[in-house]
C-alpha cells in the first residue's frame, strides 16, 4: 500500500484530496474535518488533541485513499443542527443544565474570572440554580474569590461539587491540590481532557446556568469547550486598553469561526470613579462601541476599577459585593440571553 498520507499533512488538505477519508477521521473519533479551526491541524496534531494513536489512523486513511476497504470504524458522528460544531458530550447533561455559557477574554488580566463570579452571583440571587466550571486549569482563581476550601465528594453519579455561601456549585483545579500554590504543569491536550472530566464526571444536578470560566488565548482549553461542550453562548470580557482589544478580537474571531453565539460584551476596568463624580479613564477611552460593532452583540456593562471588589475577592467574600454597575450587568445579561434564544 502506498503511503500517500503522512502525519505532518494538514487535515484540510487530506480531506480535500481524498474526500473518502472524512469517514475515517470521524470513525476514529476525530471530528475536526467539520471545524474550520481543527481542520487546519496536522493529522498528528489532531490525533494528539483527541488522544488517539496516530499510526492506526494513518493506516486506515491510506487504505481509504487507495480505495481499499476500511473495517471496524465507529459509526459516523452526526453534526447537531444549529451549532455548526461537534458536541461530543452534549447528551451528558440529560437535559438538566438549561444554559451553558462560556466567559472568554483572549487576553489575560482583564477580569474574566471576576465577571464569571459576578454573573453567577447575580443569577443565584434571583433564585436560579447556578454552577461554575473553572476551566482555567493552570491558573484557577474562582475558589479564592468565593472563599471555598472544601473538596468535591464522591456521589452516586459523580463528583459532588462544593457550594459557595449562596449555594453556587463550583469545580476548580485548586480543590484537588494539597497546596493551592502548587503549579499545575500540563500540556495542552491534558488541559482539554481535564475540562471534559470536570464536565462529565461532576454531578451538576439541575442547573439553570453553568458558567465556564476560560483561560486567555485561543488554544486547547477554549477550543475544547467550544467543540466538545454544548455551549449556548459566550460572554466576551475586555478592557479599554488597545493592547487588550487587539487580542480580544482574536478571541471574538475564534468564536465566530466556530459558529458560536456571542451573547454580549463586558468592558472591565472601564474607569476609576472620582470623588466629584467624574470618571478617570486610566486605560484610555472606552472601546465598547467598537466591540459591539465587531460582534453584533450588546455591551452588557462597563465595570469600574473598584478597590472594594479587589478586597472582597482577596478575602473570599465576592458574594457580598453590591454596586449599581453590578446590577446593570445582571439585568442586561439575563435580557441578552433571552434575546439570543
CB atoms within 10 A of CB 311: 11
Q: What's the confidence (pLDDT) of residue 155?
A: 80
In this structure, are residues 234 and 100 in contact, taking their beta carbons and an 8 Å threshold? no
Q: What's the confidence (pLDDT) of residue 88?
A: 36
DSSP string, 265-284: EEE-S--EE-TTS-EE-TT-
pLDDT tens across the length of the chain (341 residues) = 566 889 888 887 888 888 888 888 878 877 555 444 445 568 887 777 667 888 888 889 988 888 888 876 655 444 333 333 333 333 345 458 999 999 998 788 889 999 999 999 999 998 999 999 999 888 889 999 999 999 999 887 788 999 999 999 999 998 988 888 888 777 777 888 888 888 988 999 999 999 999 988 777 788 888 888 899 999 999 999 888 888 899 999 999 988 889 999 999 999 999 999 899 999 999 898 889 988 889 999 999 999 999 999 999 999 999 998 888 998 999 888 877 76
Q: What's the confidence (pLDDT) of residue 167?
A: 96
Pick the CATH number of 90-340 from 1.10.10.10, 3.30.70.3000, 3.40.50.80, 3.40.50.300: 3.40.50.300
As a whole number of angstroms, the distance between CA 91 and CA 3 comes to 38
Q: Which residues belong to CATH 3.40.50.300 in the chain?
A: 90-340
CA-based radius of gyration for the chain: 21
Q: What's the confidence (pLDDT) of residue 86?
A: 34
The pTM of the whole model exceeds 0.75: no
Strand locations in the chain, DSSP E?
A: 97-104, 130-134, 153-155, 158-160, 169-171, 207-213, 233-238, 262-267, 272-273, 279-280, 299-302
Amino acid at each position: 500500500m502506498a503511503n500517500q498520507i503522512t502525519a505532518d499533512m494538514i487535515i484540510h488538505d487530506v480531506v480535500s484530496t481524498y474526500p473518502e477519508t472524512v469517514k475515517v477521521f470521524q470513525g476514529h473519533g476525530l471530528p475536526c474535518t467539520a471545524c474550520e479551526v481543527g481542520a487546519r491541524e496536522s493529522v498528528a496534531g489532531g490525533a494528539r488533541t483527541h488522544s488517539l494513536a496516530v499510526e492506526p489512523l494513518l493506516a486506515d486513511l491510506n487504505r481509504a485513499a487507495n480505495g481499499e476497504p476500511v473495517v471496524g470504524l465507529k459509526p459516523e458522528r452526526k453534526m447537531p443542527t444549529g451549532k455548526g460544531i461537534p458536541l461530543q458530550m452534549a447528551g451528558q447533561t440529560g437535559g438538566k443544565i438549561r444554559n451553558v455559557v462560556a466567559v472568554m477574554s483572549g487576553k489575560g488580566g482583564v477580569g474574566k474570572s471576576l465577571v464569571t463570579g459576578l454573573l453567577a452571583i447575580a443569577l443565584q440571587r434571583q433564585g436560579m440554580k447556578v454552577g461554575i466550571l473553572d476551566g482555567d486549569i493552570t491558573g484557577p482563581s474562582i475558589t479564592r474569590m468565593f472563599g471555598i476550601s472544601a473538596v468535591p465528594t464522591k456521589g452516586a453519579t459523580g463528583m459532588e461539587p462544593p457550594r459557595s455561601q449562596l449555594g453556587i456549585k463550583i469545580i476548580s483545579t485548586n480543590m484537588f491540590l494539597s497546596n493551592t500554590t502548587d503549579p499545575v504543569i500540563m500540556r495542552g491536550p491534558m488541559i482539554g481532557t481535564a475540562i471534559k472530566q470536570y464536565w462529565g464526571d461532576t454531578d451538576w444536578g439541575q442547573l439553570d446556568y453553568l458558567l465556564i470560566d476560560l483561560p486567555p488565548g485561543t488554544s486547547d482549553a477554549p477550543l475544547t469547550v467550544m467543540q466538545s461542550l454544548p455551549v449556548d453562548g459566550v460572554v466576551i470580557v475586555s478592557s479599554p486598553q488597545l493592547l487588550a482589544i487587539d487580542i480580544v478580537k482574536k478571541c471574538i474571531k475564534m468564536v465566530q469561526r466556530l459558529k458560536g453565539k456571542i451573547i454580549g460584551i463586558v468592558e472591565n476596568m472601564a474607569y476609576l470613579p472620582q470623588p466629584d463624580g467624574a470618571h478617570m479613564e486610566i486605560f484610555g477611552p472606552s472601546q465598547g462601541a467598537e466591540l459591539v460593532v465587531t460582534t453584533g452583540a450588546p455591551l452588557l456593562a462597563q465595570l469600574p476599577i473598584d478597590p472594594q471588589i479587589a478586597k472582597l475577592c482577596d478575602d473570599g467574600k465576592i458574594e457580598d459585593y453590591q454596586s449599581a454597575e453590578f446590577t446593570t450587568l445582571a439585568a442586561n445579561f439575563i435580557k441578552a440571553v433571552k434575546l439570543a434564544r
